[in-house]
Structure 1
Amino acid sequence: MIMNNDVNTNSLTSAPATPLQAVLTRGAEAETCADPSSVMTLLGESGAGAGAAGFTSYRSSFAAGAVGAPAHFHTKATELFFVISGSLQVLVGEEVTVLNAGDFLAVPPHTPHAFAAAPGCEADVLFVFTPGMDRFDYLRLLGRVLRGEADPKEIAESSERFDNHYVDSPVWRAALEAAK
């Protein structure tokens, strides 16, 4: 693999930009975080630095009936979903829909959203956030909370750091209740 970072052909200004660096994570070496209903494989991230947007990418495998994330929004990041296999139920704004294998969804900043394995289904999903915000630490914290190893208030206290702001959604609550 050859990568040349000497020239930034996308620069629109004469100010020097930080060159983007390639990120390679071998599947066998990827860190995993598990909670009672899902396994997250941390694929790669690069922080948002001067001149670089950065990203965070991970893969989540949800057991049938697994609840992914409650209703929340991001103020800076766009969250991308790609369903590798199975089906994922999602809330976007006030609408609930099901994404199936091969479906892609991009949720822009300030848009409330939530997700869970679709009723009776497993789901394998690739997530990407851009810009990146070193969210692997958030995923590690979430796993510790779900396993009872950390206090849930640590999640609320980290909302600004990880750009993860929880909201109430009667629509999402009703969808989860109907799935039972």
Structure 2
Amino acid sequence: MEFQKATIIRAADKDGVKMPRSEYVFHLSSYPAQQNLGFYEGYYPNTALEYNTHYHKKMTEIFTVLEGTFSFMLNGAATVFHRGDTAIIPPMSPHGFKPLEQGSRLQFIFTGAGNREDFFKSLESIAHGKLQLNPSEREAFFNSHDQYFF
């Protein structure tokens, strides 16, 4: 029998991005998980974020509220989530969320996600104006990362 070695990821070695209205820490990158799983944390210092309702064709997302309160748009209706509440969003399920309290935190788990780190890093560049995309390039960017807007 051959034993496997555990992977250790120190806090100082974790990557992430910072945008004007949110910050994300990549606790578990999709890279060591064969691009099948990602475990992130989002921090929202204010309530300016909007729903940005979207869907994924391949990816399942699991959200758990760590701190604060969020409104999730699920199944065509807004639902308030408090600390400890979880939403499991299968592929082809329109969804979006927004923080209702300053300093709210949300845990994200992605399955079947592919490379979400590059998505968030590119999104950071777009948010800070470092990457300029025309409307068709912007749509192609989101579609290439399995994210489709209405």
- Normalising by structure 1, we get a TM-score of 0.72
Q: Distance in 1 between matches of 2:111 and 2:55?
A: 14
Among 114, 123, 126, the residue aligned to 1:145: 126
AA matched with 2:23: V
Aligned to 1:130: 111
Alpha-carbon deviation of 1:47?
5.3
2:125 is the counterpart of 1:113: no
Q: Distance in 2 between matches of 1:23 and 1:96?
A: 39
2:93 is the counterpart of 1:94: no
AA matched with 2:25: T
Q: Which moved more, 1:94-103 or 1:60-69?
A: 60-69
Q: Distance in 2 between matches of 1:69 and 1:56?
A: 21
AA matched with 1:60: G
Q: Give unpaired runs (5+ residues) of structure 1.
A: 6-20, 168-180
Tell whether the 8 Å contact from 1:87 to 1:122 is kept in structure 2 after alignment: no
Q: Distance in 1 between matches of 2:78 and 2:30?
A: 31
Larger radius of gyration: 1
Extract structure 1 runs of 4+ deviating beyond 4 A. Answer: none
Among 33, 38, 44, the residue aligned to 2:28: 44
AA matched with 1:146: A
Aligned length: 147
Alpha-carbon deviation of 1:93?
2.5
Tell whether the 8 Å contact from 1:48 to 1:132 is kept in structure 2 after alignment: no
Q: Cα RMSD between the aligned structures?
A: 2.5
Identity of aligned residues (%): 23
Q: Give unpaired runs (5+ residues) of structure 2.
A: none
Q: Distance in 1 between matches of 2:67 and 2:130?
A: 30
From the superposition, tell whether residues 66 and 34 of structure 1 become closer, same or farther in structure 2 (CA, over 3 Å).
same
Alpha-carbon deviation of 1:90?
0.9
Q: Distance in 2 between matches of 1:98 and 1:24?
A: 35
AA matched with 1:132: A
Structure 1 residue matching 2:125: 3-state secondary structure: helix
From the superposition, tell whether residues 53 and 39 of structure 1 become closer, same or farther in structure 2 (CA, over 3 Å).
closer
Aligned to 1:14: none
Tell whether the 8 Å contact from 1:55 to 1:128 is kept in structure 2 after alignment: yes
Alpha-carbon deviation of 1:56?
1.5
AA matched with 2:103: E
